[in-house]
Amino acid sequence: MSKRILAISILAIASFFVACSQGDETTPDMIKAQASAPKSLPIVTVDEFTAPASPVITEDQAKRYAKASAALVELGVKWSEKIDKAADGEKVQILNAYNVARDQLCARVGLAGIAEYNWITTVALPNEKNKATFEAAGVKTAN
């Protein structure tokens, strides 16, 4: 589980650095190419996530989190291959599409997008009160 979280974190950090390094290097041709490229529209409505007052989650949330975790790892592997093979001008566009795909994936399994997934990872997963809930859903916890 921690390897999955580490892989996702590395991809997020890499996307930040690639996006930052592309800032001053845009050319008019690149801007035209990006403007004419098809825009990806969310297929599934992603609900807005508001963190609950209590960090305790339900078994259903834990099961959805487990599904999302496994799928996000696979998604990250596939998209990292695309990013590695892409030209410099395409990497930012691919990273933006990857962020939309992550949000869509989480929404498809029943979470409120990547925002809820991240909240569960950082708040609910480390909480001792959720240990039995996560284990019942098949997620091993470090605590």
74-95 confidence digits (pLDDT tens): 999 888 888 888 888 888 888 8
- Whether the CB-CB separation of 42 and 100 falls below 8 Å is answered with yes
- Whether the CB-CB separation of 138 and 66 falls below 8 Å is answered with yes
The pLDDT of 23-27, averaged and rounded, is 50
Does the pLDDT at position 142 exceed 80?
no
Q: In the predicted model, what is the mean pLDDT of the chain?
A: 79
Helix (H/G/I), strand (E/B), else coil: 22: coil
Does the pLDDT at position 139 exceed 90?
no
**Whole-prediction pTM value?**
0.67
Confidence (pLDDT) at 112:
94
35-58 confidence digits (pLDDT tens): 555 555 557 888 899 999 999 999
